[in-house]
Amino acid sequence: MADRLSQLQDAIDQMATQFFSALRYIGTHHDAVPVGNEAKVELARDLIFKSKQIEFLITSLPGIGVSEDEQQERLKSLETELKEAEEERCRAVQEREEAAEKLDAVIRRLRRF
Amino acid sequence: MPQEPPPGALSSAFPPPPTYYTHFTEENLAALKSHCLEDGTLPPADSLSDPLYYLVPPPPPDGSYRAFGEEWMVPERYPSLEEAGIRQLYPPTSMAAAAANGGWGGGVDKGKELTVDRTIELRRLSKSLLLNYLELVGVMGMAPEQFHEKTADLETILFNMHHLINEYRPHQARETLCLRMEEQLERTRREAEENRRVVAKVEDILAGLERVAKQADAICGGDGLGTGGLGGVVGEEKVDDGVAKARVRDMEAWEALVGMGG
């Protein structure tokens, strides 16, 4: 799925297309008689719905209320944490390999009997 | 001195590599080395003859440069709406101000205001988008030939919205990076934990084996393996015999384990 910003931009573009197609519908489907209320209500409802969707997307944009410096701070601390975690992981893998070797040796000795 | 690029080099979607790469031959590189200045840096390109001229990287461009048929700014920034000839409907954002001051993140808390500003402005714009459309529909009902003004307004609003959203992209990119890093951190930690868990399990098993070995030792020592003679029926005798043999084998294995200090 596209990111929020692209979703928002798509929604805005769809809104513009709806503007056009609503007017066009009213302009072409009337047979010299005004278009019925039902169709108009539906068109209007669609537009309002799209508008609400846009608003929802705006409010759910990521990282609202976070400044760039805060982001930089966070990135830096995450980087150090990641490094530590990676070292920790390497140690754990080492330990696991040692344990595996020990187990292996035990099994090999068992086979001899 | 630079050669004319072959046709299509600047405008095609997948342009061929610049022709000067053919000059990076062994001989030319050796020749260039002999021209190097005393501190090991490359000599200025102007002082070199034709083939060597192309081996010296040009100075970084300033102002703007062209790539893939588009103009790019140095330092990179998003051209403002005014530069594109469109009226800006929202108050100048602090990011624009920061960019004008020469670079991103000029201020301490500007980003925070910025994002909050931005959502408010975007909402405002989406409201006026609807309102303007309503007016357009009204105009179309009364004087359809005067639609230009309203569609132009709508267009301006749409451009403004898109521009605001695009300006937001670097912010989102950093935010996404943060999230990905958090995920990776979580994954790394989980893996370490999982490894530790496996190690603990293996050690548990080894310790368990040791205990069993001791027990087996005690039982076998007490019994003296004297089970073979208890069975009355021949078939049972055989089974018991097998069990006894297996036990001897096991016991030896346990002893080996204990010997290892497992």
Which pLDDT band, with edges at 50, 70 and 90, does B228 fall under?
A: very low
The total of structural domains in chain B comes to 3
Report yes or no: B82 and B121 within 8 Å, Cβ to Cβ.
no
Q: In terms of domains, do A6 and A58 share one?
A: yes
Q: Out of B105, B191, B262, name the one closest to residue A69 (CB).
A: B105
Which of A87-96, B79-88, B200-209 has the least mean pLDDT? B79-88
Q: In terms of domains, do A7 and A52 share one?
A: yes
pLDDT value of residue B3:
53
Q: In terms of domains, do A57 and A25 share one?
A: yes
Q: In terms of domains, do A58 and A71 share one?
A: no
Q: In terms of domains, do A81 and A56 share one?
A: no
B54 to chain A nearest CA, in Å?
39
Report yes or no: B104 and B98 within 8 Å, Cβ to Cβ.
yes
Query: What residues of chain B, 229 to 248, have a C-beta less than 8 Å from chain A?
Result: none
Contacts of A112 (CB under 8 A, 6+ apart): B256
pLDDT value of residue B104:
42
Q: Please give the average per-residue pLDDT across B77-105, as a whole number.
A: 62
Q: In terms of domains, do A19 and A2 share one?
A: yes
| Interchain contact, B199 vs A96, CB within 8 Å | yes
Q: Which two tokens stand for residue B173?
A: 């990119």
Q: What is the mean pLDDT of chain A?
A: 84
Task: Name every chain A residue with its beta carbon within 8 A of the beta carbon of B182.
Answer: 78
Statement: residue A17 has pLDDT above 70: yes
Q: In terms of domains, do A55 and A75 share one?
A: no
Q: Distances from the Cα of B201 to the Cαs of A103, B78, B97, in angstroms?
A: 11, 56, 60
3-state secondary structure of B70: strand
Which pLDDT band, with edges at 50, 70 and 90, does B105 fall under?
A: very low
Query: Looking at the domain assignment, is residue B13 inside a domain?
Result: no
Which pLDDT band, with edges at 50, 70 and 90, does A79 fall under?
A: very high
B138 or B67, greater pLDDT: B138
Which of B84-93, B119-128, B167-176 has the least mean pLDDT? B84-93
Query: Looking at the domain assignment, is residue B117 inside a domain?
Result: yes
Report yes or no: B124 and B130 within 8 Å, Cβ to Cβ.
no
Task: Name every chain A residue with its beta carbon within 8 A of the beta carbon of B122.
Answer: 58
Query: Looking at the domain assignment, is residue B12 inside a domain?
Result: no
Report yes or no: B173 and B187 within 8 Å, Cβ to Cβ.
no
pLDDT value of residue B100:
44
Instruction: Read off the pLDDT of residues B11-65 as tens digits, 9 standing for 90 and up.
Output: 677 778 878 788 888 888 888 777 777 666 777 767 777 777 777 787 777 778 8
Instruction: Read off the pLDDT of residues A50-72 as tens digits, 9 standing for 90 and up.
Output: 999 888 888 887 767 777 788 88
pLDDT value of residue B260:
56
Q: In terms of domains, do B24 and B57 share one?
A: yes
The total of structural domains in chain A comes to 2
Which pLDDT band, with edges at 50, 70 and 90, does B256 fall under?
A: low
Range of the domain at A25: 1-64
Phi then psi dihedrals of residue B59, to 5 deg: -65, 150
Say yes or no: B225 contacts chain A, CB-CB below 8 A: no
pLDDT value of residue B257:
65
Q: In terms of domains, do A6 and A52 share one?
A: yes
3-state secondary structure of B229: coil
A87 to chain B nearest CA, in Å?
9
Range of the domain at B248: 178-260
Which pLDDT band, with edges at 50, 70 and 90, does B123 fall under?
A: confident
Instruction: Read off the pLDDT of residues B155-206 as tens digits, 9 standing for 90 and up.
Output: 899 988 888 888 888 888 888 888 899 999 999 999 999 999 988 988 888 8
Statement: residue B125 has pLDDT above 80: yes
Q: Which two tokens stand for residue B169?
A: 């992209």
pLDDT value of residue B262:
44
B110 or B64, greater pLDDT: B64
Which pLDDT band, with edges at 50, 70 and 90, does B112 fall under?
A: low
Helices first, then strands: H and E counts in chain B? 7, 2
| Interchain contact, B174 vs A75, CB within 8 Å | yes
| Interchain contact, A15 vs B111, CB within 8 Å | no
Q: In terms of domains, do A1 and A55 share one?
A: yes
Q: In terms of domains, do A55 and A97 share one?
A: no
Q: What is the ipTM of this complex?
A: 0.73
Report the residue of A14, A59, A67 to disrupt the B interface, i.e. the one with the largest count of B CBs within 10 Å: A67
Statement: residue B118 has pLDDT above 60: yes
